[in-house]
Structure formats: C-alpha cells, structure tokens
Amino acid sequence: MKMKLSAARPVKKRWRPLPNSFMKTKNKKQKRNDRHRRIRAVVKGTEFKPRLSVFRSNKNLWAQLIDDEKGGTLASASSLELKKEHKIAKIEPEKVGELLAQKAVAKKINNVVFDRGGYKYHGSIKMLAEGARKGGLKF
C-alpha cells in the first residue's frame, strides 16, 4: 500500500507587538494639538458670542476673544501685561481673566464660548475662566 504524502501545512506565525523603536508615539504637544483640533471642530465664535481661546506656556498665559467668521481678534490679554504688577504666579491667571473681561465689557461683549485649547480644565486654565466670570463674562 502506498502512503500519500500530503503537503506540509504552513506554520502559522504568532502575532507579536512591534518593539517600541518601531511604534510611533506621540509627545505631549502632539496630543494637545489633537485634542484642540477636536474641540475646534465643535466650538465656533461669532461677533456676538466670540471664542475665548487660551494658550499656556511654561512661564506665561495668553487669552483672546476671537471672531471666527471674520477671522479677527476682538480683545486679548496676557500675563506679560501683568508682570510689572503681580509677581505671584498663583494670582496671575485669575488677573488675566479679569483683564480680558474688562476689555470685553468695554467693547460690549458679555457672552463667550470657552475654548480651553486642548488643556485640562484645571489649574491655571480653570483660574483664568473663573477670573473672566468674575469680571462679567458669561460662558
């Protein structure tokens, strides 16, 4: 009796994750930019209800009211304007919010849409928002 020789079955290779050197990892800045892009897809500012945009660096904080329809800045404030007056870092974000609110109220802007810029609503971002509310802006 002759035996049939069957073709050898191919061996299935197991899936293994790639080493870290091959994986594309994102740094903090790229992740924040992704979050900001998702937020900006939803949040739009108009002349009557502008977008309050926030940018934070390691040393300073900037906030501005933006009309997205015209693509222009209506008012802005930063911690650089307050450097001469306040040297306590914990007070600065709130003061920046109040300063921006004063400039907005002078231009008869009361309602805004808050754009946290991809940052967590925590710490200096939260203090800036509370300062703006204290100054008379409504979110």
pLDDT tens figures, 15-37: 666 666 555 678 889 999 999 99
Residue 137 to residue 134: CA distance in whole angstroms:
7
Q: DSSP code of 65? A: E
Cβ–Cβ < 8 Å for 128, 64:
no
Q: Residue 109 in contact with residue 74, Cβ under 8 Å?
A: yes
Could you report the per-residue pLDDT of 107-121, keeping only the tens digit for each? 999 999 999 999 999
- What pLDDT is recorded for position 61? 92
Instruction: Give residue 86's pLDDT.
Output: 59
Residue type, position 85, single letter: E
Q: Which residue has the tokens 């050197």?
A: 21
Least confident of 44-48, 58-62, 83-87: 83-87
Q: pLDDT higher for 66 or 21?
A: 66
Across the chain, mean pLDDT equals 86
Tokens of 9: 């079955």
